[in-house]
Structure 1
Amino acid sequence: MFPTQTLEDNDVDMGFSEMSDAQLMEQLGQTVPADEAPATPEEIRLLMQQEFQRLLEDAQRETRFGEELSEAFVSNDLPKDFEEEEEDECWDRSALEHSEYRPYPNKTAMLLDVMDNLPRCRFSSTQMAMIIHFAKQLGAPDVPSLKAFRKMQQTLQSTCGNKPIKITSQLGNVFYMNDIRETLARNMANPLVAPHLHFYPEETDGPISETYQAERWMEYAPSQLTPMFSRGHKRFWIEELAQLKNGTFVIPRTLIVRNGVLISDVSIAAQASDGRWKVLDEERTVKADDFELDYDDLLAHFGTLVWVNNAPVSPMPNEMRQLVAEDEDLFVIMASPWADDVSGNRSKQYNKHMNMYTGNGCLPGRLLQQEYHVHFISTSPTLHQLNSLLPSRDHVKSTEKEPVRCYNAATNRMCRFIIRTPGLPADNPQQSEEASHIGGNSNYPCRKCQWGGTQIEKETEEIYHQCHLAGIARDAARVRQNLEEQIHLSMLGDSNAVTEHQRATGTKDKITQYWVELLLAKSKALKMEDR
């Protein structure tokens, strides 16, 4: 592999260890003048190392590229200044509408963008320029310049990206947050995520392992859950007349998954002799696959449906139909946003930031545990959790009147969805803050009930045993009353009374506390002026 130098005949059997310093220098191409001192062993070692490195590089170039390619490899055309690089148009922008990889112009641009946005392997512009250069040298098609590639990314970010929303809190703090509606819409449009979404509560005989199997979903009224299902171009809504394959007329009341099959609890309906419709005193459980004709089909066949007096039916068609177009499905997505304080520093010094995230509760637990399905919403070093939750609450409530329109990758058609929040996961300190509770170390340590007292009172037999029983639940009306009392006391300038009231009730709210401190300071200033 390595080129060798021809030795003299008398040196053929002589090893390096047997050579003199002059002979070694001669083999390395160095001639020592007679009037100079011979080289030291260290100088000889360095010369040998340099010569070996030169021989190795020459051999590798000749072996891999050949003599004719070695110079071309050394004098590559990699740009020295990427800012001054000429922008090339390696694709026809007019053909973007017909691109198989839309919104990307071609496959090469898509792969480069995916590579440049790997979350665990970030590339610098210099590294991306090297990758683009190698791709061009290897003859890959449609390879853009770095400048054209960055311009394409800016266009994609402006047209397809999720632009943060500027929010001003009630206390005047400015922060930015991602829209939870757009986050969940991307879940629906993602072909890797959409097929795994569960929109209906599920009954199971075994252990509960998924959020949609828990009792919390069952606490919602059927109209607050996903109110319809589709099969082909037919859409069956709850509280609307439908016909089964066996000819029976039914009104579906619920939609539940049982043993992996979507079923409905239905009321039997029939047409009386006078042409009016009535609901029979009979209920059944039928599979969703047994439905044949939807309300639109029956309306086209029978005309206007007239019901007998006092018939237990809701207005038909279902009022929620008004929220979607005729060819759109309507779903309900359960989202559970949570927040917690984290350090914004890489060092050990703690720099508190309040971060807020959300997850899609319609996904199985094995997917929710993946980082891919943890969606960032906002962060701020100045906000409390309640301040960051308020804008998200408004976004969620807005979907009840204006459901989010998006593409459903599972059905390959447009749909709309409503967001509901069955819970706000958090650790104990965060849960206390969300519930306007003073905390677990107070005299009233429970954020759910009114159990508590002084340390001496809690050691008594009666109150101690009450700790292990269900107590009187805290409710919003009582919490609001306590907060109003604290504001009234702060207007009087009595800070000790405010503190005692918070300890005696266990109620303390972060937002209210801002105004309490403001009123106490104002009251103190007014008293100083009167002196």
Structure 2
Amino acid sequence: GSDSEPVVPISELWNAISSSRFYNSELNETRDLFDELQCALTSGESLFSMPLAPMTEEVGFNDEMESNFGIELEDDCPLTTKSHVNLNSPVSPDHPMYPWPSKAHFITALLFSSPRLLFSEAQKKAILSWAKELGARDVPSLYALNHFQETIQTLVGNPTEKVTARSGNIFYFNDVGKAVAKDYANPLTHFAMQDYPEDGGRGMSQVFNGEKMLFELPSPPAAKVNGEIYFIKELLQDSSGDYFIPEHFFFASYASEPTSDTADKLLYALGRAVQRTEEGFIISDEQEIIPTSNFRRSFREISLDVNEL
């Protein structure tokens, strides 16, 4: 301001502001808002809820657009160039760390690919440099790690596709079919896969519960019962001699005290009863449910008897 304007000390401005109605809230008659904030800070209470950290960079994927936080990195750094590992010589499949050449490569790749710990290129190089300075053995270069990462994607496929919108926003799409196929191929997750929808009763706890999965989506095409394959929309015969056409297969527990454990649920079939007459087969208009354990003869077996079919 000009020299004619009076100079007011900051302490006087604070005294004027702190005594205003803005800080003396009427929500609490015993103390003002400033005192409330001070007490909260003293007790260690968080003043503002922040469930997620603000996103300042694109995370989760390494590409040419990844941020290095303004740090210039030299291309000829020994941690970014080829290491002593011969990248042109593939690792033998019987190697205990295949396709990685050593345990150091494996655990480093495991750390840098963690979905909950997201590292930029600069952070990765800093960690590798720190480990090398401490005298760690067989520290891989970032070049080698990226090389083996590409090798793995070539072996098992990469279900993630990068798409850039017209606005410049970057999205990643995952191929659901490829992701499910990987889960079936993984021996650790294969036996935990749920092949059929489930009647969860009044409650729903999993995505495969509920009427939508049972009625509005296509059914799994077949069920294996006592070594025999039974398909939907095909005629079969149950243990009582009646005929039946299944339309949906699903898990359920219809005991007096149903359990939530899928392992204790039985596989049922929702379909239509079929009556055999001299004129042919008559299919019921109403659906009914029978346990697949009652299946006895598949369409393949029935078709072998020309007179029956």
Contact 1:240 1:252 in 2 (8 A): yes
In 2, the alpha carbon distance for the partners of 1:231 and 1:100 equals: 39
- Give, as a single letter, the amino acid of the residue that structure 1 aligns with 2:305: F
Q: What percent identity do the matched residue pairs reach? A: 14
Q: Secondary structure at the match of 2:272?
A: strand
Q: Secondary structure at the match of 2:208?
A: helix
CA deviation string 1:405-461 (max 9, x = no partner): xxxxxxxxxxxxxxxxxxxxxxxxxxxxxxxxxxxxxxxxxxxxxxxxxxxxxxxxx
Cα RMSD for the two superposed structures: 4.3
Tell me by how many angstroms 1:240 deviates.
0.7
- What is the aligned counterpart of 2:299 among 295, 298, 311? 295
What's the counterpart of residue 246 of structure 2? 252
Tell me by how many angstroms 1:215 deviates.
3.9
Q: Secondary structure at the match of 2:92?
A: helix
1:118 lines up with 2:123 in the alignment? no
In 1, the alpha carbon distance for the partners of 2:249 and 2:267 equals: 7
What's the counterpart of residue 279 of structure 1? 282
Contact 2:220 2:248 in 1 (8 A): no
1:291 and 1:145, CA in 2 relative to 1: closer, same or farther beyond 3 A? same
1:86 and 1:253, CA in 2 relative to 1: closer, same or farther beyond 3 A? closer
In 2, the alpha carbon distance for the partners of 1:116 and 1:290 equals: 52
1:31-430 aligned within 5 A: 81-83=78-80, 86-89=83-86, 93=90, 95-96=92-93, 98=94, 104=100, 109-121=105-117, 122=119, 124-128=124-128, 131=131, 137=137, 145-146=140-141, 147-157=143-153, 159=155, 160-166=157-163, 175-181=170-176, 182-191=178-187, 193-220=189-216, 224-231=218-225, 234-245=228-239, 248-259=242-253, 260-269=265-274, 277-279=280-282, 285-299=289-303, 301-302=304-305, 306=309
Q: Secondary structure at the match of 1:289?
A: helix
Q: Secondary structure at the match of 1:279?
A: strand
CA deviation string 1:235-259 (max 9, x = no partner): 3222111233555432113323221
- Give, as a single letter, the amino acid of the residue that structure 2 aligns with 1:82: L
In 2, the alpha carbon distance for the partners of 1:262 and 1:101 equals: 40
What's the counterpart of residue 499 of structure 1? none
In 1, the alpha carbon distance for the partners of 2:291 and 2:268 equals: 4
In 2, the alpha carbon distance for the partners of 1:135 and 1:271 equals: 81
- Give, as a single letter, the amino acid of the residue that structure 1 aligns with 2:289: T
In 2, the alpha carbon distance for the partners of 1:303 and 1:133 equals: 81
| Larger Cα-atom Rg | 1
In 2, the alpha carbon distance for the partners of 1:132 and 1:291 equals: 65
1:117 and 1:262, CA in 2 relative to 1: closer, same or farther beyond 3 A? same
In 1, the alpha carbon distance for the partners of 2:131 and 2:102 equals: 17
Tell me by how many angstroms 1:115 deviates.
1.9
CA deviation string 1:259-293 (max 9, x = no partner): 122211343446556xx852365975322233344
1:268 and 1:157, CA in 2 relative to 1: closer, same or farther beyond 3 A? closer
- Give, as a single letter, the amino acid of the residue that structure 2 aligns with 1:95: S
What's the counterpart of residue 474 of structure 1? none
CA deviation string 1:128-164 (max 9, x = no partner): 3555787964xxxxx5742433421233345533452
Residue ranges of structure 1 left out of the alignment (5+ in a row): 1-79, 138-142, 307-531
Contact 2:163 2:173 in 1 (8 A): no
Tell me by how many angstroms 1:198 deviates.
3.8
Q: TM-score, normalised by structure 1?
A: 0.32
CA deviation string 1:371-417 (max 9, x = no partner): xxxxxxxxxxxxxxxxxxxxxxxxxxxxxxxxxxxxxxxxxxxxxxx
1:161 and 1:217, CA in 2 relative to 1: closer, same or farther beyond 3 A? closer
Tell me by how many angstroms 1:179 deviates.
3.4
Contact 1:267 1:279 in 2 (8 A): no
In 1, the alpha carbon distance for the partners of 2:276 and 2:235 equals: 11
- Give, as a single letter, the amino acid of the residue that structure 2 aligns with 1:285: I
What's the counterpart of residue 415 of structure 1? none
In 1, the alpha carbon distance for the partners of 2:134 and 2:302 equals: 65
What's the counterpart of residue 58 of structure 2? none
Contact 1:252 1:267 in 2 (8 A): yes
What's the counterpart of residue 261 of structure 2? none
Count of equivalent residues: 214
1:135 and 1:215, CA in 2 relative to 1: closer, same or farther beyond 3 A? farther
1:501-520 aligned within 5 A: none
1:94 and 1:215, CA in 2 relative to 1: closer, same or farther beyond 3 A? closer
Tell me by how many angstroms 1:197 deviates.
4.2
Contact 2:92 2:99 in 1 (8 A): no
Tell me by how many angstroms 1:87 deviates.
3.0
Tell me by how many angstroms 1:296 deviates.
3.4
- Give, as a single letter, the amino acid of the residue that structure 2 aligns with 1:251: I
In 2, the alpha carbon distance for the partners of 1:295 and 1:104 equals: 50
Q: Secondary structure at the match of 2:216?
A: coil
Contact 2:239 2:295 in 1 (8 A): yes
1:215 and 1:285, CA in 2 relative to 1: closer, same or farther beyond 3 A? closer
Contact 2:236 2:302 in 1 (8 A): yes
Q: Secondary structure at the match of 1:153?
A: helix
Q: Secondary structure at the match of 1:113?
A: helix
What's the counterpart of residue 13 of structure 2? none
- Give, as a single letter, the amino acid of the residue that structure 1 aligns with 2:269: S
In 2, the alpha carbon distance for the partners of 1:110 and 1:196 equals: 26
In 2, the alpha carbon distance for the partners of 1:91 and 1:135 equals: 26
1:285 and 1:103, CA in 2 relative to 1: closer, same or farther beyond 3 A? farther
- Give, as a single letter, the amino acid of the residue that structure 2 aligns with 1:228: A
Tell me by how many angstroms 1:124 deviates.
1.8
1:102 and 1:85, CA in 2 relative to 1: closer, same or farther beyond 3 A? closer
